[in-house]
Amino acid sequence: MKRLILISILFAGAFAQAQGSGAMKVKVGTQAKPAAAATGASPFQFLEQGQNDTLLAFPAEFLREAVNEHGETLLIKAIVDEKIEIAEKLIPKSNLAALDKVGNDALLYAVTGGQTSLVAKLLKAGAKTDRLYDEARENIAFEAARGGDVKLLTLLLKHDPKLVSGKNKAGQGLIEAANAAAQSETTLLLAKDVGARRALSAEGKTALLKDLARQKKNSRAGEIRQLLESAK
C-alpha cells in the first residue's frame, strides 16, 4: 500500500511537466494501463528529461510493455540515446527480445554503439545471440567485426562460440565482413580463429587474399595473409 501511495505521489508531481510538453502516445498492456491512465504521463518523457528515479518508480510491467511510435522499448530508446546508466537499470525491467519497427533489438544497438560493458550485462541477463538481422541475415558478431572493437567481438564469441562460423545471405563470413570494413584488428583476430577460417569458401579465401595483397597501408595485411595461407 505504501508503495502504491509513493507511486501516485510521483506521478502527480510529474504530471504537470508531462502535460506541459505534451505526452507521447505509448502502447501498454491492459494490466498496466490503469496506473498510466490515472496521470496521462509517458515514461518516455521522463527518460528524455533524465528523471530516472521517477521513471523507475513506474510498475515493472508498465516499463516492460511500453513502446513509442517507432516501436522502441524504453531500453532500446535509452541505448539509442546513449543514456547508458539508465539503460543498465532498465535491463531487468525489459523484454530483451523485443524488436523495434525496423527489426532491431537492444543487443544490436548496444553492439553498434560499441557499449561493451552494456553488452556484457545484456548477455548475462539472457539476451539471445541467435537472431539474424536485416535482409543480409547476419548474426550479431558481424556488427562487432565491422565495428573494429576487438574486446567487444571477443566478448560475443566467448559467450557464443557458434557465432564465429556464421555466414550471411551472400555467403560471406566474419573475416570478409571485417576486412571489407577496413578493420584490420578484428580481421586479424578472426584470421587466428580456426572456425572463422573454415567459414571461408575457397572462392572467398582467394578473393580475400588478393584484396589483402593490395592493402599497402595495412600493417596487419601480411600477418593476416600468412595465417590464411598456412591454414588447412
109 within some domain: yes
Write down the pTM of the prediction: 0.82
224 and 156 part of one domain: yes
Q: What is the 3-state secondary structure (H, E, C) of 76-140?
A: HHHHHCCCHHHHHHHHHHCCCCCCCCCCCCHHHHHHHCCCHHHHHHHHHCCCCCCCCECCCCECH
pLDDT digits (tens, 9 = 90+) for 162-193: 999 999 999 999 999 999 999 999 999 999 99
Last residue of a domain, one of 128, 143, 158: 128
pLDDT at position 19, please? 42
* Residue 41 shares a structural domain with residue 96: no
Q: Is the confidence at residue 205, as pLDDT, over 70?
A: yes
Which is higher by pLDDT, 77 or 4?
A: 77
pLDDT > 50? residue 136:
yes
Q: Residue 95 sits in which domain range?
A: 76-128
Q: Specify the pLDDT at position 40.
A: 66
Domain-located, residue 81:
yes
Residue 18 within a domain: yes
How large is the average pLDDT for residues 199-216? 94
End-to-end CA distance of the chain: 68
Matching residue, cell 537492444: 106
User: How many distinct structural domains can be found in the chain?
Assistant: 3
pLDDT in tens, 31-42: 444 454 355 678
Question: Does one domain contain both 80 and 103?
Answer: yes
Q: Is residue 138 part of a domain?
A: yes
Q: How far apart are CA 222 and CA 33, in angstroms?
A: 61
